[in-house]
Amino acid sequence: MSYTILHNPNCSTSRKGLDLLKDAGIEPDVRKYMNATERLSVEELKDIAKKMGGVSPRVFMRAKDAPAAGIDANSSDEAIFEAMAENPKLIQRPIGIKGKKAVLGRPPEDLLKLA
């Protein structure tokens, strides 16, 4: 079963997570979700939330970037998913996905839980 990492090469935590996987002998499929051609759709984001155990997208949203995107405490999950799809900077990284499971790599060592 393949391992996919949602990766932003400009993020030190994301780079550390990718290095940890490689050091553990895992060569993940790397999806650079910040690139226009690799952005995540609303449906893909909902699937990630489901694979994380049915969590709210707030669990993997960058809270410090939320106000600039019009997201506040009263925003619905649907509005957050839509904002994340429109502005991938709102997505925490890295995120590891393997089969029916996904995990936020905060700390990066959490990515190894799916290994």
pLDDT tens figures, 43-84: 999 999 999 999 999 999 999 999 999 999 999 999 999 999
Give yes or no for residue 1 having a pLDDT over 90. no
pTM of the model: 0.95
Q: Which residues are catalytic?
A: 11
**Is 26 within 8 Å of 2 (Cβ atoms)?**
no
CATH pick for 3-114 out of 3.60.15.10, 3.40.30.10, 3.30.420.10, 3.40.50.300? 3.40.30.10
Q: What percent of the chain has pLDDT over 70?
A: 100
Residues 6+ apart with CB under 8 A from 72: 66
The whole-angstrom separation of Cα 95 and Cα 40 is: 12
CA gap 114, 19 in Å, rounded? 15
For the chain, which residues make up each domain, given as ranges?
3-114
Please check the confidence at residue 7 and state whether its pLDDT lies above 90.
yes
Q: Give dist(CA 4, CA 50) in Å, integer.
A: 16
pLDDT for 74: 96
